[in-house]
Amino acid sequence: MEPIFSMPAWLRALLANYMLWALVCALAGITTYSDRLQYGDMRSYWHMTAGWFFGYLVMTVQSYALYMAYRSHPAWLATQRRIAVGYLSFVALCWPAAMLGLGFRRCIKYDIAPTLGNSWRYVVTMNKFEWFVAYVMLTMAFGCVVAMHLWKHRQQQGRQLAEAQLALERQRLAALRGQLEPHFMFNALSAIAAMVRTDDKALALDGLSRLGDLLEYALANSTSNWIGMEREWDFVLNYLDLQRLRFGERLQVRVEGVHVLDDGVECPPMLLQPLVENALRHDLECSDGISDIAVTFARGHGQLKVQVSNPLHAHQAPSAGLGIGLRGIRARLQLAYGGAASLSTSRQGNRFVAELSLPWSAAA
């Protein structure tokens, strides 16, 4: 929601400049007020503070003008040499006017006509320490203005860099999807081809129909960064139904803990299917028996754990795809979650185990 009243940048700068100088004058007023009795000065604290503010009014205007000048010409802060030239120019141009401002203040304090001549006569006879104080105040004003602009410039550079990195990561993610979708289609079409070779037209037509449903999901979510994990699991179940037309009763999958997906965790689309496909290939395509694929969902310590395992066989699975399944998952996890998600693989006894760990509220 946008704010009802948006203050212009120049007005915010003006108010901030005024408040900083008001704080300086308030501190100066405390110093003068503490010494008032020593010099017989019976003015109130507020009277003294107002006097300092009037004396520093010229410097207040000068510092605001400096801020706006650098805001309009940020290139003047591009190098140290330019900053040094700016500082010398600022002091040379503003120091005499700042001293005259202090002279006007003294004229009013001692009931002298606040003319330019009277103010200048006071400046000429002024204690050299007051000259030094004015110089220090101008230097501090210049330093604050320059520091503010440099900080804002660095913040802007940081935002631009972050936006560029985000755009690059999105491009890399799109490239990974461009690899993953043909990979999935290639393997699914290989399954359909295996059905066609059985010369069972009804089975092949059923397989093509199911393939159409899977491709519809893949295309519908090709531009989405996140999707509900329960929908992703439904996609995997449809993929298993397609493979079951090919392998029949040999394809058996044990599933535990799927109820935890009802809590609304999200993930990048097409994240689970390569894990299940990898397990299927290294089980059914390595033996003639019934598969023993296990999928387990569990929640703990703010993480969703998805474990997919299959038995190890003496023979390796044939090279039926592009070989990018697990590599693609790891790359997508890095882009989507940074270091907050992981995919680990290990051998546990006579089984190969792939475990996916996702932050529960990563996309919230």
Same-domain check for residues 117 and 191: no
Same-domain check for residues 177 and 78: no
Check residue 84 and give its pLDDT: 92
Q: Which residue among 126, 146, 181 closes a domain? A: 126
| Selection from 309, 308, 306 nearest residue 357 by Cα | 306
- Amino acid at residue number 290: I
Same-domain check for residues 228 and 339: yes
Same-domain check for residues 205 and 58: no
Mark the ranges of the chain whose per-residue pLDDT is less than 50: 1-4, 175-176, 179-180, 320-323, 362-364
Residue 253 lies in a domain: yes
Residue 138 lies in a domain: no
CA distances from 260 to 238, 255, 304 (A): 20, 12, 9
State the pTM of this model. Answer: 0.51
Same-domain check for residues 240 and 312: yes
Residue 245 lies in a domain: yes
Helical residues (DSSP H) of the chain, grouped into ranges: 9-34, 45-55, 57-72, 80-109, 116-125, 128-196, 201-220, 229-247, 273-281, 325-337
pLDDT in tens, 153-179: 888 877 777 666 656 555 555 544 554
Residue 234 lies in a domain: yes
Check residue 164 and give its pLDDT: 62
- Pull the structure tokens for residue 226: 């996140």
Check residue 301 and give its pLDDT: 84
Same-domain check for residues 100 and 177: no
The CATH number of the domain holding residue 214 is: 3.30.565.10
| Selection from 297, 352, 355 nearest residue 329 by Cα | 355
Check residue 87 and give its pLDDT: 92
Residue 237 lies in a domain: yes
Check residue 309 and give its pLDDT: 94
Structural domain count of the chain: 2
Residue 87 contacts residue 142 (beta carbons within 8 Å): yes
Check residue 160 and give its pLDDT: 74
Tell me which H or E stretch contains 75. none
**Boundaries of domain holding 219:** 173-359
User: What Rg do the C-alpha atoms of the chain give, in angstroms?
Assistant: 37
Check residue 176 and give its pLDDT: 46
Same-domain check for residues 230 and 349: yes
| Selection from 183, 4, 159, 153 nearest residue 78 by Cα | 153
| Selection from 55, 166, 42 nearest residue 101 by Cα | 55
Residue 208 contacts residue 192 (beta carbons within 8 Å): yes
* Mean residue pLDDT across the chain: 79
pLDDT in tens, 190-217: 767 776 776 667 777 777 777 777 777 7
